[in-house]
A and B are shown apart, each in its own frame.
Chain A
Amino acid sequence: MERFFQYLFDGLSLGSIYALLALGLVVVFRGTGHLNFAQGEMAMICTFVVWQFNDWGVPLVLSIILGMIVGFALGAGVEATIIRGVAKKSQAGVFVVSIALFLGLNSLAAMIWGSLPPEQLPGLFPDEPDDFQRIFGAVWRYEYIGVLAVALVLMGLLFLLFAKTKFGLAMRAVASNPESARLAGIPTGIVLASSWGIAGAMGALSGTLWGGIVGELNAGLMFTVFIYASAAATLGGFDSPGGAVIAGLTIGVGEQFLAGYFPGWIGQEMKLSAALLTIFVVLLVKPSGLFGSTKVERV
């Protein structure tokens, strides 16, 4: 039982980071119908920005907020300038551009922060060896508890934004029927740019939380997290924010169980593959993810 809870706690904390980034992917996809390949790299570069502010002496919490603002500006700016221009002409072009962003941002981070010694991002939470709580015999580190709490709070705020505010209503309307949304007077351009911006800000937070756990920052920081997040968005359904969160947590917990209970066959090295294979099977039964809506195609 002790092991069970240990895997559960670790899985929930890691899963909440995947869920944050996945939520960003879903917000973008619902708004503009694109998979933003650069989502992880945007998060990575914002994490460096957080570190940079912190290194200049700005308190960590303030640095994170600044990083999220930069993330918002980056996301919104990219949508309004590059993505929208290309999307008008060709959908395949958007794919190329998001890949180009992926490559460009990765390279940019390496250029600016590359040859410094491995950057240490101070954890947001107490991270001494004895900073943990024992629950049902399992160790739950304060850092992990904090990550889960912050992620859940942000996701909660986001859902409030979606459900309760006028802006959230506009976002849902644009996702549901962009043409009628324009006719109803919704400034769709601003809404779409903001969806990318929100995704960017969430990415900044997920990157910082992940960076705090990993400890070292480098240009490849978010690559695996991005894969996990894409997997979560797929499993949950690409147009379902709630699905992304549930799927993110499920994948986080699931991979811990798989790696923990089958150390010989799966273990740390194969846990991502095992998780992906499981999702693969789920998709065969539910081709639009667990909570995604199926679109009926008409001739």
Chain B
Amino acid sequence: MSLLEVRALSAGYGPVEVLHGIDLDVDHGEMVVILGANGAGKTTTMRAVSGMIGRSGSVTFDGVDITRTNAEKLVGMGIAHVPQGRGTFPDLTVMDNLRVGAYARSGGIAADIDRWFAVFPRLAERRDQRAGSLSGGEQQMLAIARALMSHPKLLLCDEPSLGLAPLITQEVFEVLKKLNADEGLSVLLVEQNANLALKVAQRVYLLETGTVVASGSAAQIASDDAIRKAYLGA
């Protein structure tokens, strides 16, 4: 059984439905990417999975039905969500950001902080700075480190490349890939930069106006001519 099983998920904002019943799986230790144009419903999918917005259908995580579970509870169950663009607490220091990340659990927090400081040395240098004063790349890394502080089994990562310079984006993706390969962390990634995403992910879902129009392994998708034309610009 998959780690995350999404069946017939519909969600939206108020009277407007954005997702019209999508199916999606993330296996243990798998890195899955959702591709799609602006407004396809990628962020909505993430928000629906983590319970930030009302949803219908079913979401099962690690064998437990979480369709009715509050967003606040999911962290404790092992889902960490890095929201788009602003995953940090700008008024808190880097240290405090990481402490907030560990809010749902206790014990070994100091050791964990040291561990992520080793992975992201630049955060260690800025440990007492306000997160809002960090650069975009540093904030994104902080947001990821903050999410990892909760010891997740599944990391939801919403467009980590947004507003970052190409080199920094590479760096962020490298970290994600390494976490996935070395630690067996499952990742569900939303990305606009298809070329980059296809390199790191194992499987791909293609989203168009709230429905899944194609899915398959990264290699399959990358070799599909029609998809290449539409999404990869080649």
Contact = CB atoms under 8 A, between A and B. Distances in A.
A184 B81 CA distance: 8
Given A172-B92, A173-B92, A179 B100 contact: no
Contacts of A180: 83, 86-89, 143, 146
Interface string B70-102: 011111100011110011111110001001110
B104 interface: yes
Nearest to B96: A169
A185 interface: yes
Interface string B32-51: 00000000000000000010
Contacts, number: 74
A175 interface: yes
Contacts of B13: none
Given A172-B89, A173-B89, A175-B91, A181 B100 contact: yes
A293 interface: yes
Contact of A179 (B52, B74, B146): B52
Contacts of A188: 72
B220 to A, nearest CB: 32
A183 B50 contact: yes
- Interface SS majority for chain B: mixed
Given A166-B103, A185-B75, A176 B89 contact: yes
A166 B103 CA distance: 8
Q: Chain A contact residues: over half helix, strand or loop, or mixed?
A: helix
A179 B83 CA distance: 9
Nearest to A188: B72
Interface string B125-143: 0000000000000000001
A183 B71 contact: yes
25 contacts: A169-B92, A169-B100, A170-B103, A172-B91, A173-B92, A173-B100, A173-B103, A176-B91, A177-B88, A177-B89, A180-B83, A180-B87, A180-B88, A180-B143, A181-B100, A183-B71, A183-B87, A184-B75, A184-B100, A184-B104, A185-B103, A185-B104, A186-B100, A186-B103, A187-B72
B96 A185 contact: no
A30 to B, nearest CB: 9
Contact of B71 (A177, A182, A293): A182
Given A176-B92, A177-B90, A293-B91, A183 B83 contact: yes
A188 B91 CA distance: 17
Given A169-B96, A183-B83, A187-B72, 15 more contacts: A166-B99, A166-B103, A169-B100, A172-B89, A172-B91, A175-B91, A176-B91, A177-B90, A180-B143, A181-B100, A182-B72, A183-B71, A184-B100, A184-B101, A185-B103
Interface of B: 50, 52, 71-76, 80-83, 86-92, 96, 99-101, 103-104, 143, 146-147, 150
Contact of B76 (A175, A185, A293): A185
Nearest to A177: B89
A186 B72 contact: yes
A160 to B, nearest CB: 15
Contacts of A182: 52, 71-72
Interface residues of A, number: 19
B140 to A, nearest CB: 13
Contacts of A176: 89-92
Contacts of A181: 89, 100
Given A169-B103, A179-B52, A185 B72 contact: yes
B89 A185 contact: no
Contacts of A293: 91
B120 to A, nearest CB: 18
A184 B52 CA distance: 12
B91, B92, B100, B146 — most chain A CB neighbours (10 Å): B100
Contacts of B71: 182-183
A183 B100 contact: no
Interface string A150-175: 00000000000000001001101101
Contacts of A186: 72, 100, 103
Interface string A176-210: 11011111111110000000000000000000000
A293 B91 CA distance: 10
Contacts of B91: 172, 175-176, 293
B150 A184 contact: yes
